Amino acid sequence: MPPSSPIDTRLTYADLECFPDDGKRREIIEGELYVTPSPNVRHQVLVGRLYVAVANYLAARPGAGRVYLSPLDVVLSPHDVVEPDLLFVGRDQFEVLTPKNVQGPPALVVEVLSRGTRKTDEQVKRRLFARVGVREYWLVDPELDLIKVSRRGQDGFRRVAELTAEDNDSLTSPLLPGFSLALSELLAPEL
């Protein structure tokens, strides 16, 4: 009797679509399910400020790219589906956009860290994004009031900056020529 093939029990995008719409973020990385609760107010403020800054930049540069907020599925492989807090798709990548989701790596992915997502965002997702070809990855750390910027090099991601409001740093990117956002504005407390 020939040996049987092992059954692939990794989750897929089709499996993900069967889960209830209950406000929890569900992602699949290497076929493993990651579930996180809805974000807190500080998280949403930071994501909102980043979105507005990038959207305003793009409004002055029609056709340069598109920016999106979570929830939006980014399908990187049958076993890798994530919902970044914010993502930017450059003009040279519009083919990854479908009416339902993003089918491939965006140019830029941004995650705002929380206690529940820190390890996954800093390690698991960073490796995934490097592997699939994301060009730049920003990790916004609201606890430490800093942003870690990694860019794709020949060997995967390389940390190129650790920016803080305390040092009067501004967030810039070669993916967004002329874009600049002062961390003092981004990380300012709410009124």
DSSP 94: G
To the question of pTM greater than 0.85 for the whole model, the response is yes
Q: Within a domain: residue 132?
A: yes
- Judge contact between 171 and 180, C-beta under 8 A: yes
Measured in degrees and rounded to the nearest 5, phi and psi for residue 112 equal -100, 120
Length of the chain: 191
pLDDT at 15: 92
Q: Within a domain: residue 63?
A: yes
Q: Within a domain: residue 37?
A: yes
State which H helix or E strand residue 159 sits in.
Answer: strand 156-164
Q: Within a domain: residue 41?
A: yes
Cα–Cα distances (Å) from 79 to 15, 92, 96, 128, 150, in that order, read 10, 25, 17, 11, 24
Q: For residues 34 and 9, which has the higher predicted lDDT (pLDDT)?
A: 34
Three-state secondary-structure class, residue 71:
coil
pLDDT at 191: 57
pLDDT at 2: 65
Mean residue pLDDT across the chain = 93
pLDDT digits (tens, 9 = 90+) for 78-97: 999 999 999 999 999 999 99
Cα dihedral across residues 16, 19, 25, 29: positive or negative: negative
- Domain of 89: which CATH number? 3.90.1570.10
Place 155 in a pLDDT band, splitting at 50, 70 and 90.
Answer: confident
- Judge contact between 44 and 60, C-beta under 8 A: no
Question: Mean pLDDT over residues 121-125, rounded?
Answer: 95
Q: Within a domain: residue 2?
A: no
- How many structural domains is the chain composed of? 1
Q: Within a domain: residue 7?
A: no
